[in-house]
Amino acid sequence: LLCSKPMKHLSFVCLLLAVLLSIACSFNTPSVVLTKKQRIYSYNQQGALTERLAVFMLLEDGDGRNDYKDLTLREDTTGLEWALHRENTVFLQEAGYSKNAQWVGSNKFKYPRRFFPAGQYTLSASDLGGNKTETTFSLQAPQIITFLPFEFTLETEQWTLNITDSSACSYFSLIMLSADLQPLTVYQLQTNGTDQQNGALTTFENRPTDARYIQCFGENTDQSIGFLSAPLPLP
């Protein structure tokens, strides 16, 4: 019994040192490589057109990708802030960048008064060691948009894309979603210059077995605006 007490004390000290060392290792300040932002329009359940802002920061951290803690978006004019904690962050890796770099952000930022106004915004990220980095970007005034420039339908195994305003969209993709509407796979569509495209779901390679919904995503030429159709259940 007398020998067990020092051993327990030693184990506690070792555990404490391990925790302190893990915290102390986070000394590199993360850096911003790139930022991307996009206004995304879709219909809500009541059929009204709504806007969300997608904002992502390509963050590089010498302490590794797991050192990320949170991200904050701020409208500089009003000081209005949106906090994005780690558990609510979308993480994306892109080939061609460092293994310690990743896209962090969200496509679900919403403005209280419906549309994000023109102006300057600040995006800041912090790591587990308390180090912080930030960058700024500006938004142009929102365009007057009253409807989506395309219609997407699904009948049995056949999908159909009807483009009602070809000047609004230059790129189209189909997104496979899980039962809880999380994106699983994105398929780029090759535009053929016509206002209608269709195809069979069976032509999509590596289709996820847990895919339950599909939706269409369109973007304008400079990718500053995106349009998202309602998710449709897969047969």
pLDDT per residue as tens digits for the range 19-35: 444 444 457 889 999 99
177 contacts: CB under 8 Å, gap ≥ 6:
183, 184, 211, 212, 213, 214, 215, 231
What pLDDT score was predicted for residue 92? 86
Q: Which helix (H) or strand (E) holds 75?
A: strand 68-75
Per-residue pLDDT, 10 = 53
Q: How far is CA 105 from CA 49, 117, 173, 195, in A?
A: 23, 20, 20, 33
Distance CA 218, CA 145 (A): 14
Comparing 1-5, 84-88, 131-135, 229-233, the range with the smallest average pLDDT is: 1-5
105 confidence band (pLDDT: 50, 70, 90): very high
- Contact, 101 vs 59, CB < 8 A? yes
Judged against a pLDDT cut of 70, whether residue 7 lies above it is answered with no
User: What pLDDT, in 10s, does the model give residues 36-88?
Assistant: 999 999 998 888 999 999 999 999 999 899 999 999 999 999 999 999 999 99
pLDDT of 192 strictly over 80: no
Residue 90 and residue 104 in contact, taking contact as beta carbons nearer than 8 Å: yes
Q: How far apart are CA 167 and CA 170, in angstroms?
A: 7
The mean pLDDT value for 95-112 works out to 92
The pTM (predicted TM-score) of the whole model is 0.80
Structure tokens at 168: 């609004």
pLDDT tier for residue 183 given thresholds of 50, 70 and 90: confident
Residue type, 129: G
State the pLDDT confidence band at 12, using cuts at 50, 70 and 90. low
Mean model confidence pLDDT for the chain: 88
Asked if the model's pLDDT at residue 1 lies above 60, the reply is: no
Please give the structure tokens belonging to residue 217.
Answer: 């995503």
- Hey, is 224 helix, strand or coil? coil
- For tokens 């994306």, the residue is 92
- Distance (Å, rounded) from C-alpha 60 to C-alpha 122? 18
Per-residue confidence at 3, pLDDT binned at 50, 70, 90? very low
pLDDT score, position 207: 87
Look up residue 35 and give its two tokens.
Answer: 């930022």
Instruction: Kindly report the number of other CB atoms within 10 A of residue 23's CB atom.
Output: 12
Task: Tell me how far apart the alpha carbons of residues 101 and 9 are, in angstroms, rounded to a whole number.
Answer: 40
Percent of the chain with pLDDT over 90: 69
Task: Count Cβ atoms within 10 A of the Cβ of residue 69 and give its class: 0-12 exposed, 13-18 middle, 19 or more buried.
Answer: middle
119 forms beta bridges with 139
**Cα–Cα distance for residue pair 135/201, rounded to 1 Å:** 41
In the predicted structure, residue 110 carries a pLDDT above the cut 90 = yes
The token pair that represents 32 in the structure block: 């911003």
